[in-house]
Structures are given as structure tokens and as C-alpha cells.
Amino acid sequence: MVQLTISTSLFLSPSIFDNPSLAHPFCRLRSLYVTTEHVYFPLKNAFKLVERCPSLIHIELRVFSLDACLAIVDILLSDLANLIHLKIYFNKHTLLDNPCPIDYIIEKRHRTFPFHICNKDEIFIEVNGEFLEIYPSGCLICANKIYYV
């Protein structure tokens, strides 16, 4: 299994998320899509997500607010070395003009992965009233396709 699309409530249920027999498939997981309209991914499970799914390169999930989104982004950028795409949907926006600047992403990635080269020209960030999307580095976006640099 390299890609998983699942509802938030099912994914976070103890029978799935805390099931030791699923540890091996979760470690190999590359893409995770955990999105539903009415159940939000809690911040408290972000560290557990990284621990259980260290090979993730694509993640989509839904949180309640942009503030929760930024805290999860911080964890995922720090702990997932291979992350190339992160999209987090949220319902409640904040008043911040630029909640996730490119310099912050470069600093965060460099601090955690000092040999990982980050270039401002390789980072894409989009924040609108519904989601925050980040391509941390190593890929460029063109016509909704990912091109590796």
C-alpha cells in the first residue's frame, strides 16, 4: 500500500491508527488523503502521524482553523524529510497576512535537515480562505503537474 484515502474519523480510530499490525503498511505509505467535511485532524495526533508514517511525501487533511494548520505544518516540515506536497484545508481563517513565509520553510527544513538544500525558487505556497498548500522544495508546479528539479 503506497496511497491511502480515508475519512478522518476512521483513520484516527484506535482500530486503525493505533493498531500495531498496521505499523508496517503505514511505514511504507507515501500518499495520505484524510479529508472529511465535519471531522478535523487534531494537532495532538500530528506527532503520531509522523511516527507511524515516516515515508509520506503527499499529505492532505482537514483541520479546524488556520492556527491549528500552522502548528501541524511546523511538525510535518520538521519531521518528514521526503515531504514534497502538503495541503491542509481549514474552516476558520486568521488575520495573518502571510502565515507561512518561504523564509520560515527554508529555515525549518534547514534546521532539521542540514544537508537538504532549499531554494526559494523551488518553494510554492498558496494560502486562501479554504486551504494552505505547500510544496517545500525539490519540485515545481506547472499545469497541475509536479516536475522534479
pLDDT digits (tens, 9 = 90+) for 69-109: 778 888 888 888 888 898 988 886 554 555 555 566 666 65
Read off φ and ψ for residue 130, nearest 5 degrees. Answer: -120, -25
Rounded Cα gap, residues 130 and 62, in angstroms = 10
| In the chain, where the domains are located | 3-148
Asked whether the beta carbons of 40 and 63 are under 8 A apart, the reply is: yes
- Across 19-28, 57-66, 89-98, least confident range: 89-98
Q: Would you state the cell numbers that stand for residue 61, as one nine-digit string?
A: 487533511
Read off φ and ψ for residue 66, nearest 5 degrees. Answer: -65, -35
Q: How many CB atoms lie within 10 A of CB 69?
A: 28
Reference 79, options 47, 125, 103, 110; nearest CA is 47
Average pLDDT over residues 34-61: 91
Please tell me the pTM assigned to this model.
0.76
**What's the burial of 15, exposed, middle or buried (CB within 10 Å: 0-12/13-18/19+)?**
exposed
Its sign, for the CA torsion 109, 114, 59, 133, is positive
Whole-number percent of the chain with pLDDT over 70: 69
